[in-house]
Chains A and B, each alone.
Chain A
Amino acid sequence: MGVDLKPSAKACTSVKPLMNGSRMLVEALKREGVEVIFGYPGGAVLTIYDALYDGGIPHILARHEQGCIHAAEGYARVTGKPGVVIATSGPGATNLVTGIADAMLDSLPLVVFTGQVATQVIGSDAFQEASIIGITMPITKHNYQVRDVSELPRIIREAFHIATTGRPGPVLVDIPKDVSNAMGWFDDQAEVRLPGYQPTVIPHRMQIRKVLDAIRAARKPVLLAGAGVLHARAQDLLREFAERAQLPVVNTLLGLGSFPASHPLFLGMGGMHGSYAANKALYEADLLINIGARFDDRLTGNLEHFAKSATVAHIDIDPAEIGKNVPTDIPVVGDAGEALKMLLEEGPEPGDAAEWLAELGEAKRQRPFWYHDSDQELKPQRLIQMIHEITRGGAIVVTDVGQHQMWAAQYYPLEQPHRWVTSGGLGTMGFGLPAAIGAQLGRPDALVVAVLGDGGFQMTMQELALLKEYNLPVKVIIVNNQALGMVRQWQELFYQGRYAHSIIPNLPDLVKLAEAYQIPGYRAKNPSEASEVLRRALAEPGPVLVDCWVTPGENVYPMVPPGKGLHEMVGVTP
């Protein structure tokens, strides 16, 4: 092939090298500063894998595509950088679907590359063909199918731009096999042209002033902080704002860590298994300021009773979230960090809320989380408290989904941001172990503790192999109650104890399982064993699995029963 480089001044400053689509992908990923790729090879991405072979970007081979994508989510959660995933066409691509939906609901930046059959045979039901564009349209922020190799550099740049700006989210790029094979000029200056995508980052000053006026007039204000604060890295601004305006703070499940748990203004997590004080504040408030949360139904309970007498101010970078679930009096579109900066600039002044703060402080003292402890049985709540104590509250806590997740949220108070990795919106079982792997890769020096249920663990337990392979010192702690605990709890409370398929028999010997993967495994059946074993596990330099046999019938309290308002919590006191 003749290479014709015109000797113009422009060509001299930016020579576009000739390469195939796969090499372009690798170059573009380097340009985007990608540190690690989570992936699984296959027929439609063979050329891409050939380019990765000596491409210089580390690649983590999970044991299932679901493992790749949850690992990328864990990485994105703790680093704030986009997680990058590569899978092949058809089954490889469809195995990613759960994780893409999970990232979409929790607003995590991911850039997902899937192989596709060659453009000539798209639509012919070719081997390993699936219309992943059609499948993922409702669960991605945006998706692309690359039809020509010349588009590839621009599309990759746009994909990263979309995934990481505005409200973060997953973007999928589908690359047909002939496109990754085709030769083209790599344009490393590719321009982003997205006239239909212009997120509003700086909020409107008038609206910000309205929020401050409302605070001055309020007697019962409450500040609800969600994951938007963490995405904006605005935890310090949040704290300063809450202190200066004297606002009690409630976190959503995903917002945990955005406000120090030990702070006197902190009321804890709100919602279905939130604290009494947090839910009381949300229910009785006359001013509710939501910053970076989306009024998820697990937080609000029955909307009819939610913040009924409150003026609602909602600060969100996604205008579609404002007014979606809860009618809003003061809408503020903008980045949480920019909004907090402007709120502080405009000089927040507290209203007349001293009585309210005292009342909430009293509620917090009077109605803490509770459980009946035992020296014979290992209570799951006590197990989490032990983990908190032994790790001195400094671990990155990754959970799966279910009872253990709620106990971890309740009994592992977080002082610092980006140390809480959990599947909030989609509630994906099987998320925890791979997410912990991604989190450890993102923060190699941090202590990562994966608190998993025995149900969710068994959905992706094959990823244990990665702990050994990449020598990741993740401490895997199984809260083992031999049941799908949350399902069992709902059946007990709402289905007259008819435990339809929520008890898991024939659990494998998890210690032997760990050993099969060449990971040390320990077991604890009572508090003293747990204490000893946890200490030993934390002292191990590498990965460990700890199988903790907890009281099987334990329930998560307090609880807002489904369909009820936040004021109708049950199990507030023993």
Chain B
Amino acid sequence: MNRILSVVVNNRSGVLNRITGLFLRRGFNIQSLTVGTSETEGQSRMTIVLDVDDERTAEQVIKQLHKQIDVLKVSDITDLPIVARELVLIRVNSPLQTRSELTALIEPFRASIIDVSRDTVTIQAVGSPEKVDALIFLLHPYGIKELARTGLTAFVRGNDVASEAPRPYRNRVLSI
């Protein structure tokens, strides 16, 4: 069973190590972990997808995360209305004769071709993990040469329309 945790942490050096070290030490399984700056300066947001056996383990993970002094907030957002996205890059075999077929295939996924060579194309897709899984499944018969997924990033859907648009935020170097 997968749980999605949204964790706000102090953007201090070693924080990522503290979190992953905690998972290692306590024997928790991480399915994916993404991290980047958040809307507040000095704070980062992590999205952790957990692979847990039961509610009790999930609860224990949350409590252990809370114990970390650099962890400011932990929310289990699995059952909440959320916006959850993952990005994937897939380089797939694509001789010229199959290319139009491939283009038609990825179109419903709103995926796009972002790089082209003689025999391959690189497809970029953004969506829920299920959508990404479905796209990968469809592309398998063509021969996937290379694949990279970012892991899930997510937060709770806003109550008003305005908050749905992400606030512009300048890029800063992450010291994680």
Residues of chain A touching chain B, judged by Cβ–Cβ distance below 8 Å, are: 133-134, 137-138, 141-142, 145, 162, 194-197, 318-320, 322-324, 327
Contacts and interface: CB of A to CB of B under 8 A. Distances in A.
B66 A323 contact: no
Given A137-B21, A323-B59, 15 more contacts: A137-B14, A142-B69, A145-B13, A196-B10, A196-B70, A196-B71, A197-B69, A318-B67, A319-B66, A320-B64, A320-B66, A320-B67, A322-B63, A323-B60, A327-B56
B144 interface: no
Interface residues of B, number: 21
A137 B72 contact: no
Most chain B beta-carbon neighbours within 10 Å: one of A319, A320, A323: A320
17 contacts: A137-B14, A137-B18, A137-B21, A138-B21, A145-B13, A145-B14, A162-B69, A194-B69, A195-B72, A196-B71, A318-B67, A319-B63, A320-B63, A320-B67, A323-B56, A323-B59, A323-B60
Nearest to B12: A144
Contacts of A134: 14, 17
Nearest to A199: B67
The 4 closest A-B pairs by CB, nearest first: A320-B63, A142-B69, A196-B72, A197-B69
Given A133-B14, A134-B17, A138-B25, A196 B68 contact: yes
Nearest to B61: A320
B72 A324 contact: no
Contacts of B25: 138
B21 to A, nearest CB: 5
Contacts of A324: 60, 63
B141 to A, nearest CB: 45
Interface of B: 9-10, 13-14, 17-18, 21-22, 25, 56, 59-60, 63-64, 66-72
Nearest to B13: A145
Most chain B beta-carbon neighbours within 10 Å: one of A141, A196, A318: A196
A260 to B, nearest CB: 33
Q: Is the interface of B mostly helix, strand, loop or mixed?
A: helix
A512 B40 CA distance: 66
Contacts of A323: 56, 59-60
Nearest to A133: B14
Contacts of B14: 133-134, 137, 145
A142 to B, nearest CB: 5
A319 B74 CA distance: 14
A567 to B, nearest CB: 25
Nearest to A195: B72
Nearest to A324: B60
Contacts of B60: 320, 323-324
A195 B9 CA distance: 10
Nearest to A138: B25
Nearest to B14: A133
A551 B92 CA distance: 75
A211 B21 CA distance: 36
A38 B20 CA distance: 32
Nearest to B71: A196
Nearest to A194: B69
Contacts of A318: 67
A176 to B, nearest CB: 13
Contacts of A137: 14, 17-18, 21
Contacts of A197: 69
Nearest to A169: B67
Nearest to A167: B67
Nearest to B22: A138
Nearest to B70: A196
A195 B66 CA distance: 11
Given A137-B17, A137-B18, A138-B25, A196 B59 contact: no
B78 to A, nearest CB: 19
Contacts of B69: 141-142, 162, 194, 196-197
B52 to A, nearest CB: 14
Nearest to B63: A320
A195 B71 CA distance: 9
A436 to B, nearest CB: 31
A145 B13 CA distance: 9
Most chain A beta-carbon neighbours within 10 Å: one of B9, B13, B64, B67: B67
